């Protein structure tokens, strides 16, 4: 929903399984209805980020490891996010009081963290994230040396920028990630599998007994969540 308009086909498809009501503002942006209040997706995201900042134990662990306080962040987003969605995410972070150094694709960030243990080994990697509602995949390669590449989307400076998010003392030298291809599906995740199974069972039950159990609406989604 972030960075999309109310009548976006993806929003209209997904809203059928959401356990909450949505409306739209004067600019046709979706609003989430909570009792008598309306919130934009960016405001909800900001509240999630604020909550993460309040997780004192986890923050304390990070600060103890880094030997100083954490005040900046690198935020990851799905590979399929367009510029509008990325800017909406950045706006949410600002609402949460975070200083954002970089917006990175999730698989690229995962590969970067994983490659810390490889030292000077050059490897080709396929990273995928099968989440609740989305699927992301990236094919990339770790490179070492001083040669520049126009195909390098997450360069050694990206490594250093991510490291500086917590002012880490880790140095990556001449390493960089070279991205070959990224892709994703906004309607391929665990919840989509659950919904498909529910609809399949509902259809089989209707064929056998002539009774329609329920329609996939807000109440049905609440049943799935429970």
% pLDDT > 70, the chain: 73
Q: What is the pLDDT of residue 207?
A: 92
Give 192 or 219, the one with higher predicted confidence. Answer: 192
Q: What is the pLDDT of residue 184?
A: 82
Model's pTM, two decimal places? 0.56
Q: What is the pLDDT of residue 187?
A: 78
Is the pLDDT at 149 greater than 50? The verdict is no
**52 neighbors 73 (Cβ within 8 angstroms):** no
Per residue in 61-116, pLDDT tens? 777 887 877 778 888 888 878 888 898 888 888 888 788 888 888 888 887 777 77
Pairing of strands 30-34, 21-24: antiparallel
% pLDDT > 90, the chain: 6
| Three-state SS at 92 | helix
Per residue in 19-59, pLDDT tens? 889 998 988 899 999 988 999 988 988 888 778 767 666 77
- Give the mean model confidence (pLDDT) for residues 212-217: 64
Each domain of the chain, given as residue ranges in start order, spans 198-226
Q: What is the pLDDT of residue 214?
A: 66
Per residue in 169-184, pLDDT tens? 223 444 567 788 888 8
Per DSSP, the residues of 25-84 read -TTS-EEEEETTEEE-HHHHHHHHHHHHHT-HHHHHHHHHHHTS---EEEEEE-TT--HH
Tokens of 143: 């490179």
């Amino acid at each position: 929903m972030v960075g999309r308009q109310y009548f976006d086909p993806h929003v209209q498809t997904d809203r059928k399984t959401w356990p909450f009501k949505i409306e739209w503002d004067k600019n046709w942006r979706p609003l989430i209805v909570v009792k008598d209040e309306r919130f934009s997706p960016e405001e909800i995201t900001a509240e999630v980020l604020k909550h993460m900042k309040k997780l004192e134990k986890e923050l304390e662990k990070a600060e103890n490891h880094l030997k100083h306080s954490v005040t900046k962040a690198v935020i990851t987003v799905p590979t399929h996010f367009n510029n509008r969605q990325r800017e909406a995410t950045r706006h949410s972070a600002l609402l949460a009081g975070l200083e954002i150094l970089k917006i990175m694709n999730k698989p690229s960030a995962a590969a970067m963290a994983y490659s810390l243990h490889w030292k000077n080994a050059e490897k080709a990697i396929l990273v995928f994230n099968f989440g609740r509602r989305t699927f992301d995949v990236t094919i990339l390669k770790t490179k070492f040396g001083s040669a520049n590449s126009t195909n390098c989307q997450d360069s050694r400076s990206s490594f250093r920028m991510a490291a500086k998010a917590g002012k880490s003392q880790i140095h990556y030298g001449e390493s960089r990630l070279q991205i070959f291809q990224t892709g994703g599906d906004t309607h391929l995740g665990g919840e989509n599998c659950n919904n498909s199974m529910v609809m399949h069972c509902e259809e089989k039950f209707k064929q056998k007994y002539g009774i329609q159990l329920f329609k996939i609406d807000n109440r049905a989604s609440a049943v799935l969540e429970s």
